[in-house]
Amino acid sequence: MGVVDLITRVDSICKKYEKYDIDKQREANVSGDDAFSRLYSAVESALETVLQKTEDLSSETNKAKAVAMNAEIRRTKARLLEGIPKLQRLALKKVKGLSKEELDVRNDLVLSLSDKIEAIPETSAPVVGGWEASTSYSNIRFDTNVSNHRIGSEYFEPTRESDQFKQEYEMKRIKQACQDQGLDYIAEGLDTLKNMAQDINEELDRQEPLMDEIDTKIDKAATDLKSTNVRLKDTVTKLRSSRNFCIDIILLCILLGIAAFIYK
Amino acid sequence: MSSDPDKMMSKADKMTKLTLTRWSADWRGATELYEQAANGFRASNKYEKAKVALEKASKGQEMQASPWDAAKHMESAAALAQKLSIWNEVADFYRKASELYVECGRAQPASDALGKAARALEDVKPDDAIQLYTDACEILEEDGRDQMAFDLYRACANVYIKLEKFTDAATFFLRLGVAADKCDATNSQCKAYLSAIILYLYAHDLQQAEKCYNDCSQIDAFLKSDQSRSASRLLTAYNEGDIEEIKKVASSSTVSNLDHMIIKLARKLPTGDVTTIQMNTNDDLDEDDLT
């Protein structure tokens, strides 16, 4: 491990355990009566914590936690920015035991502080995520109204996953539109079918008594026909019965005999 | 029997005339001759003479107490008269035929005859046609065969629409509804009511249309039907003056299943200014508020 590393490590450790540094605290407490200094130190410490958080965020692998931290950062940033005008007012106030130059300096301090706050990055750096984009439930909408400024393209840094999400959402939306159209066609067809079916139903109802009438009439005609047939059969058999046939033959022979006799 | 139809006609006439030598007319022989003569005339395209022959044949059959044949001949005569465009004869013959059918106790052919007459006269004498249609419907209703009357009611309403008497046409649709109610033909009934409402709206009579809708809603079958939903949508669209909605309802499938004349009228809705109708209803409210 090189010297540089050592130095950086020492610095970070000192920073971490600053609150145990009595000297520094005493220094800070000197300006405890001054409202401005108090507020200023408070804001500064808050700013430091936020910056620390952003650094943690960049190393955060859990997406959910990253999102939560992002939200927290944004919230704190907003609060700090709200506190800035108060600080500015206090800076302009004259405090006893303070020189004019220090007053100006305070103003500058406030401005620089506000710049620093605004410079806090609000988004996470592109994370090399290890997980697959899950199937998005299309039509989930996000209300991005957390802070009342800077809503727009700067607010959202597209990541690979979010792009994929977007694409899938668009595809699903188009598919759904096609489905809706198809369903509309089907609905129209079904309406026509329903109407036709009802008309057929009524027509069948109308024709039922007619069919019954036809049925009875045909039954009557059929029975008439049957009886006529039977009678006809009787007549025909009677006509062609063997007795009559024999009588016919005998009479024919007699006739032929008489004819032969006459011509002889 | 000579094959010349004219000769047959004269012979038959002689047979039917009562003279000193002939004490009773020989209707059977005469009728036969008349029929043959009529066929001969028709074959030679002498329609006027054929018509006369058929008339006489029908009379002969009547005398022989066979109204069915008589009616049949009358119908043929009427068809020939139609070909010759002698319209009052058409109406008379068909009426006579219808009466003869009623004598036989056959209501369906009777109303068919009147229906044919009405169809023939639709373009020429629409009022007579309407009368004939009404009579035909009455015959069927008396016989209890309401379902056959639907087509006649629809045809009659179409005639009224052609004459632009929309309220009369709507009345006929309501009568159709009554007939449909008797035989539980709910689909036809609902369609008839929707057609009536559309006709009232076309005639620019929103109050009447609403009254009609309210009356029809008393009927359970109509209340639960698609047609009543379309009607209520149409009426609300009219009340709000929403032309887009009116057009949407008019081109919906429910309206497209009605008679084609009604569809044509529906597509032409809204007639006139919908906003004026709206204004009128608003005025009424203001008056009420003042009192």
ipTM of this predicted structure: 0.77
**In chain B, which residue's Cα lies nearest the Cα of A206?**
B147
Q: For residue A147, which phi and psi values (nearest 5 degrees)? A: -110, 150
B31 contacts: CB under 8 Å, gap ≥ 6: B12, B57, B60, B61, B64
pLDDT range class, residue A201, cuts 50, 70, 90: very high
Q: Is the pLDDT assigned to residue B58 strictly greater than 60?
A: yes
- Residue-averaged pLDDT of chain B: 84
Which of A101-115, B61-75, B94-108 is least confident? A101-115
Tell me what the mean pLDDT of segment A87-92 comes to: 76
* Confidence bin at A254 (pLDDT 50/70/90): very high
Give which of B86, B58, B87 is closest to B74, Cα–Cα: B58
Q: Tell me the C-alpha distance between B255 and B234, whole Å.
A: 11
Look at residue A134 in the predicted model and tell me its pLDDT: 42
Q: pLDDT at residue A262 above 50?
A: yes
- More confident call, A197 vs A84: A197
CA distance A33 to A193: 88
CB contact under 8 A, A191 and B253: yes
Cα-based angle A20, A79, A140 (whole degrees, multiple of 5): 120
Residues of chain A found within 8 Å of residue B183, distances taken between Cβ atoms: 205
Grade residue A250 by pLDDT with cuts at 50, 70 and 90.
Answer: very high
Q: How far apart are CA B81 and CA B276, in angstroms?
A: 51
Residue-wise pLDDT for A119-136, tens only, equals 776 554 433 333 334 444
pTM above 0.90, yes or no: no
- Indicate yes or no: CB of A188 within 8 angstroms of CB of B253: yes
pLDDT for A98: 62
- Provide φ and ψ at A23, rounded to 5°: -60, -45
> Per the CB < 8 Å rule, is B187 touching A198?
yes
B201-218: average pLDDT: 85
pLDDT, tens digit, 9 for 90 and up, residues B150-187: 888 988 998 898 888 888 888 888 888 888 888 888 88
- Measuring CA to CA, how many Å separate B80 from each of B7, B50, B85, B127? 21, 8, 8, 22
Instruction: Tell me whether residues A199 and B187 touch, CB distance under 8 A.
Output: yes
Chain A CB within 8 Å of residue B230 CB:
no
| Minimum CA–CA partner of B185 in chain A | A202
